[in-house]
Amino acid sequence: MSEQSTTHFGFRDVPVGEKQKLVGEVFTSVASNYDLMNDLMSFGVHRLWKRHFVAVSGVRRGDRVLDLAGGTGDIAALLKPVVGEEGEVIVGDINAAMLNVGRDRLTDRGMVSGLRWTQLNAEALPFPDNSFDAVTMAFGLRNVTDKDKALADIQRVLKPGGRALVLEFSKVQNELFGKLYDFHSFQVLPKLGKLFARDSGSYQYLAESIRKHPDQETLKGMMEHAGFGRVEVRNLSNGIVAIHRAYKL
């Protein structure tokens, strides 16, 4: 993409070079209220989605896992008991404020050993080829400027046979339910954000970013284009979110 190219920031078109900064401002703003944000967006069900995501990930004891957009530590806290003392979880996030929140939270819980925290850009991962048994990314891919580039780099750092796992808001499958979900997202969520977090704009962006994210089949095709095989899609809560699992063959 050229310097003159544009991309979406929610429903706005912005220069490609500006999106990362704008997304960073959103997540710096909501970092201290991230659990509240997810509770408001998902009616609290995000906790169950994340547990299921890890449960079906296929991650095993001794695995080395990279958790992208994992700054809050939610996925890392679920993965670490699975990989055990023999394994390692590296938490990567582009936003320092989010990393600080997650590191402090897990340290307070006594979860230090076998965890590493790295500020990075998912489009240019600072790891050698064939480094990880699995790469996870929960509720982060939709905020990446160049998703194709990120998926290709995830494929690069995975070991042969390794798994890429993406948990992300997706396209609701039922039309009536979708209308109710839209009403909650655009009419209720920003007001709740203003009331509880004094930040309606960030919550408006987050709702818009969900609608601009590729739907289930489109993302499946993007993963196949990035070189993944055996791409599987599993809808949760009628497609409010979907798990995409793929393998480096």
Could you read off the pLDDT of 27-45 as tens digits, one per residue? Answer: 777 677 777 767 777 778 9
Comparing C-alpha atoms, which of 222, 212, 210 is closest to residue 246?
Answer: 222
Q: What is the pLDDT of residue 3?
A: 47
Task: Label the pairing between strands 229-236 and 115-119.
Answer: unpaired
Q: Among the residues of 32-167, which ranges form H helices?
A: 34-42, 46-55, 74-83, 96-108, 147-157
Q: What is the pLDDT of residue 240?
A: 92
Burial-class residue 25 by CB neighbours within 10 Å (0-12, 13-18, 19+).
Answer: middle
Terminal Cα distance for the chain, rounded: 29
Q: What is the pLDDT of residue 164?
A: 98
Q: Flag residues of the chain having pLDDT under 50.
A: 1-3
Q: What is the pLDDT of residue 4?
A: 52
Q: What is the pLDDT of residue 144?
A: 92
Number of helical H runs and strand E runs in the chain: 10, 9
Tokens representing 83 are 């990989």
